[in-house]
Structure 1
Amino acid sequence: MNPSWPYPVGTPGTPWGAAEKLQWRALQRKQRSYTEEVVSVIDGLRTRFDVATYGELDYGPDGRYPLFAVRSRSWRDELPLMLVTGGVHGYETSGVHGALLFLDQHAADYEGRANLLVTPCISPWAYERIHRWNADAIDPNRSFRADSPAGESAALWRLLEPLRDSVRMHIDLHETTDSDETEFRPALSARDGKPFEPDGIPDGFYLVDDTEAPQPAFQQAVIEAVAKVTHIAPPDAKGQIIGSPVVAHGVIRYPLRQLGLCAGITNARYRTTTEVYPDSPRATPEQCNRAQATAVRAAIDYALAQG
């Protein structure tokens, strides 16, 4: 959709009500299978990891979606806990498959050194529809709080509540896509009754640090590792990436908890959000998945080394 056009749901300048949200939901079509593409891969990991169902989403005629957490089989309470989350936004494919790739190819390297907890696909309804929001037109990644209106966010909150102070490192795997500009930002403006203001899409990988508790050396360690796999996004003419000042090579900062972002859900000393750009002519899907898995490895390695 051309972002200069009116969005096909709602009245410009008027926030959506229940009717508009139902109209929007009716437009969403299942385009891929959570069971075939994600759950089957998780099932294949059961011989090496403990897999638990930490919740289930009931979206009526669209189906029920179990939520899975994968954790180290040799869990020991005295080991540092490393948290990896993916698929908060269902359309951000490498966030899901990068997490699964890390589990399959790299997690064994941390046996006896760290406890790993990975939730590969937090938003399965959105994964199937290649969308940012859940079925209620809520962005889960603005909803990570105790009273969350998003079932996806609430389920993860409950899972992590007893572990919040135990997590040393949390990396949340995301993408920034061309469809952010052509579909999701226009949809957000329409839903909230606000004018759409076009912005650019950065070409390359970048990270989002925490404004309230920045860890610049940690962020740079991840950037340096990922730069060997894919290119790092440069700042725009204003010295910004997606409207935020670039504070270091490939790094911006958000107030994670204030915005209700997933990366702020624990008290981890080291936390970051990855942003891969899958629409770049310089990146392939396999490269994007490897960039995510590399970011996870670099984040864990740094957290282990620094304590």
Structure 2
Amino acid sequence: MQSYSIGTPGQAWNDEHKQQWRDAQSIERSYADEVLAKLPNNLKGFSVIQYGALPYDENRYPLYAVVSEKISLSKPTVLITGGVHGYETSGVQGALQFINNEMALYAARYNFIVVPCISPWGYETINRWDPMAIDPNRSFYANSPAPEAAQIMAFVASLNTPVLVHVDLHETTDTDNSEFRPALAAREGTVNHNWNIPDGFYTVADTTRPQLEFQKAVVQAVSQVTHIAPADDDGRLIGEPVQSEGIICYDKKALHLCGGMTEATYVTTTEVYPDSPNATAQICNQAQVAAICGALDFVLAANI
């Protein structure tokens, strides 16, 4: 059994263990400087809306979305979410890059709800969890204990518009195996089994609505920017069977993932690999933007 620095192997954490974990975290970067400062001051046709704040420090962690000023019933609505896992940097920075450089090009055809950083405490401390040792991306359900999930769900519901496309921006990193999966096993009192970290980009479709042609379009768009992760010797990525090049499926609603928070027809979770020797931070950001644009272009081409 792989040991972790907190807790007793085989025994789930109690509140004291969670406090030990929380006390071990520290601020590594600035949400104000790296995220809030990049929100547009005056982007024609869009409003920057504060939809909440994290209770850990409401002044430090206000939550923002960039939303079409007028939600038109004649246009489909697109939800783009980044930073559900705060440590997955390109999800946040890719969303901001899309907002500032690409979104206006699609404004005539879509309504947008773009939330670049759902978990700012996680962004600052480079963490998967929130301060309560809860994974926000397993917390998208009614009466969620994770304020990151609860507040974005409430905000999207308040807009009262059906979502057609949801692109949720993520990364798979080497620290998934070195830190976050061992921490999860320690928290739960279970045995950790690391997976092979895929070298390259892949997407996670929804088992109940995979829309494989849509996923393929996303993968194809990203392949122009960075390499697509090959399947392992068992034909899998992170333990899941590959459906097509760079595509696996999760049951997003059953797992309470961000990608399952709406009834959107077209849902994809991007997974960028920032630790590849063939990747840079900017390549990773560009891959996220390419994934978004590939998703939007597919739906436009389908005349939906």
| TM-score normalised by structure 1 residue count | 0.95
Among candidates 272, 276, 293, match of residue 280 of structure 1: 276
- The correspondence of residues 209-288 of structure 1 with structure 2, limited to 5 A, is 209-288=205-284
Structure 2 letter corresponding to 1:70 = V
- The correspondence of residues 1-307 of structure 1 with structure 2, limited to 5 A, is 6-42=3-39, 44-48=40-44, 49-59=46-56, 64-73=60-69, 75-163=71-159, 166-306=162-302, 307=304
CA contact (8 A) 1:10 1:16 kept: yes
CA contact (8 A) 1:164 1:267 kept: no
> Could you tell me how far 1:76 is from its partner in structure 2?
2.2
Aligned-partner Cα distance in 2 for 1:19–1:247: 42
CA contact (8 A) 1:45 1:104 kept: no
Shift of the 57–15 alpha-carbon distance from structure 1 to 2, 3 Å rule, reads same
CA contact (8 A) 2:6 2:17 kept: yes
Aligned-partner Cα distance in 2 for 1:229–1:162: 36
Aligned-partner Cα distance in 2 for 1:184–1:46: 38
> Could you tell me how far 1:65 is from its partner in structure 2?
1.0
Aligned-partner Cα distance in 2 for 1:9–1:274: 31
Structure 2 letter corresponding to 1:136 = M
Aligned-partner Cα distance in 2 for 1:186–1:58: 27
What SS does the aligned partner of 2:301 have?
A: helix
Deviations 1:141-198 (CA, angstroms, capped at 9, x unpaired): 0000112110000001101224576111000000000000000000000000011112
CA contact (8 A) 2:2 2:192 kept: no
Gaps of 5+ in 2: none
CA contact (8 A) 1:74 1:112 kept: no
CA contact (8 A) 2:86 2:117 kept: yes
Deviations 1:112-138 (CA, angstroms, capped at 9, x unpaired): 211111000000000000010001000
CA contact (8 A) 2:82 2:117 kept: yes
CA contact (8 A) 1:95 1:175 kept: yes
CA contact (8 A) 1:164 1:268 kept: no
Aligned-partner Cα distance in 2 for 1:73–1:110: 14
Shift of the 164–279 alpha-carbon distance from structure 1 to 2, 3 Å rule, reads farther
Aligned-partner Cα distance in 1 for 2:185–2:144: 21
Aligned-partner Cα distance in 2 for 1:92–1:195: 25
What SS does the aligned partner of 2:165 have?
A: strand
Shift of the 47–247 alpha-carbon distance from structure 1 to 2, 3 Å rule, reads closer
What SS does the aligned partner of 2:54 have?
A: strand
| TM-score normalised by structure 2 residue count | 0.96
Aligned-partner Cα distance in 2 for 1:206–1:150: 27
Aligned-partner Cα distance in 1 for 2:253–2:108: 31
Structure 1 letter corresponding to 2:153 = W
Deviations 1:39-88 (CA, angstroms, capped at 9, x unpaired): 0101x34343301011111215x964111010123542321101100000
In the TM superposition, structure 1's runs of 4+ consecutive aligned residues that sit over 3 Å from their partners are 44-48, 162-165
> Could you tell me how far 1:199 is from its partner in structure 2?
1.9
What SS does the aligned partner of 1:85 have?
A: strand
What SS does the aligned partner of 2:267 have?
A: strand
**In terms of mean alpha carbon deviation, does 297-306 or 252-261 score higher?**
297-306
CA contact (8 A) 2:8 2:186 kept: yes
Structure 1 letter corresponding to 2:3 = P
CA contact (8 A) 1:204 1:232 kept: yes
* Number of residue equivalences: 302
